[in-house]
Amino acid sequence: MAGRLGDQPIIILKDTERMQGRDAQSMNIHTAKTVAGLIRSTLGPKGMDKMLVDSIGDVYISNDGASILDDIETEHPTAKMIIEVAHTQEDEAGDGTTSAVVFAGELLKKAEELLAQKIHATTIVKGYKIASKKAQELLDNMAISVKTEDGKAKQSVDLSEGKVGEPKAISELLKKIAITALASKGIGSNPKLAEKCVKAVKAIEDNGRINVEENIMLLKKRGKSVDETEFVNGLVIDKMRVSINQPRKIKKAKIALFDQEIQARQTKGDAKYKIRSSKQMQLFAEEEKRLMKQTVERIASTGANVVFSTKNIDDNILDYFNQINILGIRRTKEEDLKKLARATGASIVSNPEKLEESDLGYAGIVEERGVGNYKMFYIEECENPKSVTLVLHGPSEYILENLEGSVNDALHVIGDVIEDGKIIAGGGAPEIEVGLRLREYASTLSGREQLAVQAFADAIEIIPYSLAENSGLDPIDSLVDLRSKHKQGHKNSGLNLDSGDVVDMIENGIVEPLRVKKQMMKSATEAADMLLRIDDIFAARRMSMEEKYGGKGYHMRDYDWAPHPKIDED
């Protein structure tokens, strides 16, 4: 509804309260800092874990920033925006989620200091954009290429930068990338697991492109140790035989895939039969069996000896399958069936009558394996499989949950390097180098944006600061040592978090994909810029049951996330 006071229009927002100016900015900044503070202690290989207890008492322990934020229930709109930074980072780079959120929180903290100095938010945003663009250039200059000019992966990469040292084979480099990613999630340095991750990603490479979500299956199996995690050049389906009469192993498997029930042929329409005698009943049963046998013979005529279906397979048909040594597996997950199609080269068919030999896929072996009551089917030795499996082992559900997240991150960063062909030093080296060069660059700027660029340079150092702090090192001393090395021109110098020494990260094999670092800075900067531009918050009243039936509603102050306004008694 609108009114008019003199020549000025008045807008009245019904059932809405408003927070504006510095109050809105302060609330957004405070919230972002709080969210970043929740997960900052989890950053790096020495980071701490968080224990989350849900509303029904289930306990979940993790040190993965994205997982922790996903499990936190919040109504706060700003908190949701910061959490979205982690999602963006996860989608675009597959790792670096905690760093992105922590950096975003620190950017807003530095912005708050500039706002207190009467620097306008628009100026800060402009300065941050200038700094982010320059940071991307600096990261590109630090990167090492692992691809040839024609875009193919190099057979070897010399990481010694002209010093005495053996060139690293590309597989060994990818292994080091995986070790770094696994270590950052608390799994520790695990070369065996890293090697299996590299095998899995290289197996699904398609003209330099990698699709981890669609083509790599992660299957958790409690028992054994993490080192006994299995790489299967094919698939593992979490299904068991329904009868001991079914074959346990099929060699040279020709695989048929169905997305419908396999049963006797159905009549068209809604035909009904009236059975008036036991003889008619017997004839009906015999005819049904004949039709079922006909269906089985039709499938067998194509040469198929393994059948998967997402729906039911009639018990009688399974019995016929057993008699002619065909393995039937029913109620397979739809996503598993699609992966089976990619792994074996089979086509998914709806009607057994339309199955052709060309629709069949191939695997060298399909076998049920396992111990006790927990068994699974292994589909291996596929020809040019487009889907593979990692069977994760661990002594407890807690370890398996963390292992799954760690392996998922490792697979993505390996894929990043294969796709982009660029790596960069880890251990806080890029952040220190970017911070140092941005301060030099800021001195060349004439406007107030110079202050924002300097603030960006200070904020990015929260990453090495947190790495040192979480490792039990003195963060101030660590930053001083790092800055000193970088001023001397050692751009790849980072922190050895075990000894506390500043060493060359490239020579020590502590490397990361360039994509992770670039996306981390980009995501955090965009989030900070977006929040700094907000100077007004309109919140509609929350409707309650009482209000619906005549009671009062809730105002902005009744939201958990909204601060209570201070009353000026003067």
For the beta carbon of residue 111, count every other beta carbon within 10 angstroms. 27
Residue 506: name the closest of 39, 267, 259, 162 by CA.
Answer: 162
Determine which helix (DSSP H) or strand (DSSP E) holds 486, and give its type and residue range. Answer: helix 475-487
For the chain, give the longest Cα–Cα distance. 101
Q: Which of 48, 337, 284, 31 is nearest to 184 (CA)?
A: 48
CA distance 313 to 292: 11
What residue ranges in 278-341 does DSSP mark as E strands?
A: 306-309, 327-329
**162 secondary structure, DSSP code:** T
DSSP secondary structure of 409-455: HHHHHHHHHHHH-EEEE-TTHHHHHHHHHHHHHHTT--STHHHHHHH
User: Could you count the other beta carbons within 10 Å of the beta carbon of residue 569?
Assistant: 4
Which residues are part of the catalytic machinery?
64, 97-98, 409
Burial profile 347-358: b = 16 or more Cβ within 10 angstroms, e = fewer:
ebbeebeebeee
Residue 158: strand, helix, or coil:
coil
Quickly count helices (H) and strands (E) in the chain.
Answer: 18, 23
How big is the chain, counted in residues?
570
- Give the type of residue at 40: R
